[in-house]
Amino acid sequence: MISTVLENAAIVDGMGHFAYTTDIGIAGDRIALIGDLRERDALVRIDCSGKTIAPGFIDTHSHSDELWLTLPRCDGKIAQGVTTEIGGNCGTSVPPLEIDDFFHDVERNGVALNVATLVGLGTTRRMIAGEDPRRLEREEIEAQARIVRQACEQGAIGVSSGLIYPPSMYADTHELAAMAAAAREANAPRYATHMRSESDELLAAVDEAIEIGQRAQVLVQCSHHKAAGKKNWGKVHQSLERIDRARRHDTAVYCDVYPYVASWTELATILPAQVRHGGVDATLERLSDPESATAIALALQLKHADEWHDMLITEAASAKNAQLAGMRMDEIARAWRLSPAAAAIRLLREERLDVGAMFFKMCEDDVATVLSADFCCIGSDASIRALDGPTARGVPHPRTFGTFPRVFGRFVRGRQTLDLVEAVRRMTALPASIFGLRERGTIAAGNYADLVVFDANAIRDTATYEAPYQFPIGIEHVFVSGRAVLLHGTFTNERPGRVLRGGA
């Protein structure tokens, strides 16, 4: 029995084919029929004349994880047309020894979109060596590899590293390759990496990522690819050429990008690496010691002298500094009558390092260059949030609510970096193939009915850096496994999403 017919839509199938207009019939969780269905009985018929139907978008780089349990409607992502999220990125994930229980909890609770996760190698390293900034012994590497294999056997689809964050940053190339190989041995041959540098040492960092893929014989995903800092603008041409060269020599290397010029991470990333050795308490001790803090402030001022206005605080952990969200670091410094470096140290100390910040250090031409690479897909690098409730805190990056529609509005219709068909492929079939998501990412009879219906002439983001809590426009309906989670622009509160284990 056909449950739903989507009538008269321009179908963009995700595989790069030209759009064509016809009907799609959904039965259960699958696409049952594609063609003229005017004579077929159906429980529901939705007129999609003038609209486009595409496979549901796949967010290759998310940080939702535990939020799948606390915000199961997944508002900010469903509103963008996202039907699948890949979590566990940048070296941080649900602890591997708990991953099977976590998956079962998500399934019992229900979630609006499909979820899959990588194993964070910062998380696994912490289980073995805590925050110790040293090279692991052979026995420790073997112990960590066992943890990785177990997590992948329970359904994780690969591993991730976050090589600017402790303790992930302490892993050398040998250790990372060993962990990626352990994932391959458990049938999860993927290594996603927040590389060791996305600025001055970008090219060396790309070389390391490729080397890890070659040594471990795994696919490599270079996360949120960029060149940060004005002196590095344009360097993405060289980094993409390195990736392309590796691909021509049979190394599977891909990347993802978000369509914005500001990154979003911890303010603590501005600290010299050695200051963070030993974990939060040891870092705070250094920031609190007058002599040490003076030396750290000098180092910060030398490195970031012209960049303080480019740092926008998005969130502070405590109520004491909550009002600073939305302010630039130089503004805070003036308000506190301190140097910017001293103000940053004070803020980090008062919040026990738990401060989020945006860094305006990229240029849009570089974003367009990365987006133009045919091996690049889209990742929000954001967690799910809602417009109200416990996740509506601070001033989050607008990518939280606008990533996928912004690609269409800014880079398809605006800059014309991509055409519509290619943009859809980068959000659907390409990431599905990278992460082994079978029977998803394309529109074909028998595939899962993960679908988004949108107005190709109107879809765009509305979230801004100043006012991020705004849903995009132009998306009409979203279906996950055949059930509407967004219908006529309204959340249905359905939770048909599934845990996609091991490429299922």
Q: What pLDDT digit, counting tens, does each position of 347-404 carry? A: 999 999 999 999 999 999 999 999 999 999 999 999 999 999 999 999 999 999 999 9
Task: Note down the domain range covering 276.
Answer: 265-360
What are the DSSP calls for 439-494, one per residue? T-SS--TTSB--EEEE-TTT-B----SS------BSEEEEEETTEEEEETTEE---
Among 308, 330, 360, the domain boundary falls at 360
Give the C-alpha separation, 88 to 119, whole Å: 6
Q: Note the pTM of the prediction, 2 decimals.
A: 0.97
Same domain, 303 and 227: no
Q: Is the pLDDT of residue 45 over 90?
A: yes
Same domain, 270 and 397: no
- Exposure b/e, 99-114, CB count within 10 A at least 16 = b: bbebbeebeeebbbbb
pLDDT tens by residue, 430-460: 999 999 999 999 999 999 999 999 999 999 9
Cβ atoms within 10 Å of 122's Cβ, excluding its own: 23
Among 432, 456, 488, the domain boundary falls at 432
In a domain, 490, yes or no: no
Mean pLDDT of 460-464: 98
**Token pair recorded at residue 99:** 């991953």
Cβ atoms within 10 Å of 470's Cβ, excluding its own: 15
pLDDT tens by residue, 175-189: 999 999 999 999 999
pLDDT for 97 equals 81
pLDDT tens by residue, 206-222: 999 999 999 999 999 99
In a domain, 269, yes or no: yes
Among 320, 336, 360, the domain boundary falls at 360
Give the C-alpha separation, 209 to 224, whole Å: 14
Cα distances (angstroms) measured from residue 152 to each of 84, 98, 125, 309, 437 = 19, 12, 16, 43, 15
Give the C-alpha separation, 472 to 458, whole Å: 10
CA atoms within 13 A on the CB side of 380: 32
In a domain, 159, yes or no: yes
Mean per-residue pLDDT of the chain: 97
Cβ atoms within 10 Å of 502's Cβ, excluding its own: 16
Q: Is the pLDDT of residue 159 over 80?
A: yes
Give the C-alpha separation, 480 to 496, whole Å: 6
pLDDT tens by residue, 212-264: 999 999 999 999 999 999 999 999 999 999 999 999 999 999 999 999 999 99
Q: Are 261 and 367 in contact (CB under 8 A)?
A: yes
The count of domains in the chain is: 2
CATH code of 69's domain: 3.20.20.140
pLDDT for 503 equals 44
To which H or E segment does residue 59 belong?
A: strand 57-59
In a domain, 503, yes or no: no
Residues of the chain above pLDDT 70, percent: 100
Q: At residue 107, what is the residue type?
A: E
Of 501, 497, 377, which is closest to residue 448 (Cα–Cα)? 497
pLDDT for 502 equals 86
In a domain, 423, yes or no: yes
Q: Is the pLDDT of residue 504 over 70?
A: no
CA-angle at 145, arms to 144 and 150, nearest 5°? 100
Give the C-alpha separation, 165 to 138, whole Å: 23
